[in-house]
A and B are shown apart, each in its own frame.
Chain A
């Protein structure tokens, strides 16, 4: 018997990386999935973003587990599109129990060189996009007599200042403020709201040459192997990055009955980056 048998989870940024892992892990525990992803390029992001083929692969993996999935190509900057996707998913799957606001981007520059475009895109996606993703789900969660659980994906950059990502850090700190308000507003409906704070995770968001070059400016074409030691130097534990599944296990703990009285928590999955 899965821990989420009969439940429905809405996940943003579900085409690949952490979002896909969450969809698959929650489906393994019995959940049906409502998945969205923008599947589009963004001018200020210099690594390749997800594609419709990626989202189709998430659908395939969830269906291979004999769970249902309603997937849509929706950008988290599109509030109306998100509302439509959530309403459609709930209409087809019958209910909503879990929300994982996971979609996000990264780009890198010292603050004085950050362009308006890079700043605005970051805040639009990584902060406003989280709000716009959660907003249309509230009415469905309230209608659920069992309540529900919302997880907002923040970052270690939501807990401390990290050079070269002022916009990302500001957005991820903002997500914590949003979480604290939602936890207060929604507790009376048995809806719990928590943030998760991963260190670097082995996904395309950090596994790209632009990010590598930031960590190894001494090399012209640094590779994954070249940056492993530098990444490991950020963490207290001797690991360069964590796996998507480590984040999914945190999500699973928080959204299932195991976390039924956990709300307002900022949970680090950070190999000790913040404590060190």
Chain B
């Protein structure tokens, strides 16, 4: 068997309890990475029901350990700088280094038109989806810088980091904001060989979209829409004939950008959006 593309590397993944975060942990571990995973494992303002649990995060650990890789976790809110920074430092001490950070944790928010949006709902989304990404990157940089071998930071934005959507202004603004953070950070860190890119998925089959609230948003005409009822509406957003993509499709982009394959890719807004924003 050939050496994995992430052999000897340690990656930080936020929101690692389930969904895309878990998928990134597994995909990178398959390529040899050890993983530091963090998740709030509880209710978060603007987040979807059901909440991520400690059992979810434990399941991610079991999957990574099943691949014979090490995984260290800490339970923290990405918006709590002191707790997050301390948890990361402790985890890096255990695994010895940090090469890559994937700022994946995020919430969907509550849909409102701007004129009807409570300012607290706006703040909740901005806090996790933008400030939390900033805190994640800020905490990770010193550890990646420490070994002098460069590294890769991936900020998970969205197709909505490139396009607007009615009733989604807070999410859209936060995901656009991530691009500004990415661009500035890419310039700041290029001399150190640390690359920074954003990833812009279309809808991904995770609990963030597969929930009754989101189904109702897409099919307001139905009292209790299910997955089959929303398929066509989701599909209509994309150019390619697919309603949503799998978490692993985003993980493949993470892998390409985190590994040596992307060693000179920085400052990119990389879309995995089935053509949504090319229409």
Q: Which A residues are within 8 Å of any B CB, using their own CB?
A: 180, 183-184, 187-188, 190, 192, 199, 235-239, 242, 246, 249-250, 252-253, 257-265, 267-272, 274-276
Measured between beta carbons, the chain B residues less than 8 angstroms from A246 are 263-264
List, in ascending order, chain B residues with CB within 8 A of A261's CB. Answer: 202, 240, 242, 245, 249, 272-274
B193 touches A274 (CB 8 A): no
Bin chain B's interface residue count: 35 or more
Interface contact A199-B278, CB-CB below 8 Å: no
Of B187, B239, B255, B263, the contact of A263 (CB 8 Å cutoff): B239
Establish whether residues A274 and B275, one from each chain, have CB atoms under 8 Å apart when the complex forms: no
Query: Cβ of A260: which chain B residues have Cβ within 8 Å of it?
Result: 249
- Residues of B contacting A236 in the complex (Cβ-Cβ under 8 angstroms): 186-187, 190-191, 266-267
Given contacts A258-B252, A271-B264, 18 further A-B contacts (CB under 8 A): A187-B275, A192-B240, A236-B187, A236-B191, A238-B190, A238-B193, A250-B256, A250-B262, A253-B261, A258-B253, A261-B274, A262-B253, A263-B239, A263-B240, A263-B275, A263-B278, A267-B265, A276-B187
B231-279 residues at the A interface, CB under 8 angstroms: 239-242, 245, 249, 252-253, 255-256, 260-268, 270-275, 277-279
B188-204 interface (Cβ within 8 A of A): 190-191, 193, 195, 202
Residue of A nearest to B268 (CB): A268
Residue in contact with B271 in the complex, picked from A190, A258, A262, A275, CB distance below 8 Å: A262
Residue of A nearest to B279 (CB): A184
Q: How far is the CA of A259 from the CA of B201 in the complex (A)?
A: 12
Query: Which residues of chain A are within 8 angstroms of B70 by Cβ–Cβ distance?
Result: none
With a cutoff of 8 Å between Cβ atoms, the chain B residues found around residue A276 in the complex are 186-187, 190, 267
User: Which residue numbers of B lie inside 8 Å of A, CB to CB?
Assistant: 183, 186-187, 190-191, 193, 195, 202, 239-242, 245, 249, 252-253, 255-256, 260-268, 270-275, 277-279
Q: What's the minimum C-beta distance from A98 to chain B, rounded to whole angstroms?
A: 17
A39 to B255, alpha carbons, bound, how many Å? 37
Closest 8 CB pairs of A and B: A275-B267, A264-B278, A236-B190, A187-B239, A258-B252, A249-B261, A253-B256, A272-B266
With both chains docked as a complex, state the minimum distance between the C-beta of A134 and any C-beta of chain B, in angstroms: 16
Alpha-carbon distance A263/B265, docked complex (angstroms): 18
Contact A190 B241 (CB under 8 A): yes
In the complex, chain B residues whose CB is within 8 Å of the CB of A183:
239, 275, 278
What CA separation (Å) do A258 and B272 show in the bound complex?
Answer: 10
**Complex CA–CA separation, A169 to B29 (angstroms):** 41
Do B193 and A249 touch across chains, with their CB atoms under 8 A apart? Answer: no
Nearest chain A CB to B221 CB, angstrom units? 26
| Complex contacts, A274 vs chain B, CB 8 Å | 267
Selected A-B contacts with CB under 8 Å, 25 pairs:
A183-B275, A187-B275, A192-B275, A235-B190, A236-B190, A236-B266, A236-B267, A237-B264, A249-B260, A250-B256, A258-B253, A258-B255, A259-B252, A260-B249, A261-B240, A262-B253, A263-B239, A263-B275, A264-B271, A264-B273, A265-B271, A271-B266, A272-B186, A275-B267, A276-B190
Given A238-B191, A267-B270, A275-B186, is A180 in contact with B264 using a C-beta cutoff of 8 Å? Answer: no
B6–chain A nearest beta-carbon distance, Å: 14
Contacting pair B268 A237 (CB below 8 A): no
* Complex-state Cα separation, A246 to B266, whole angstroms: 13
Tell me the bound Cα distance from A187 to B267 in angstroms.
Answer: 27
Chain B hits for A257, CB < 8 A: 252
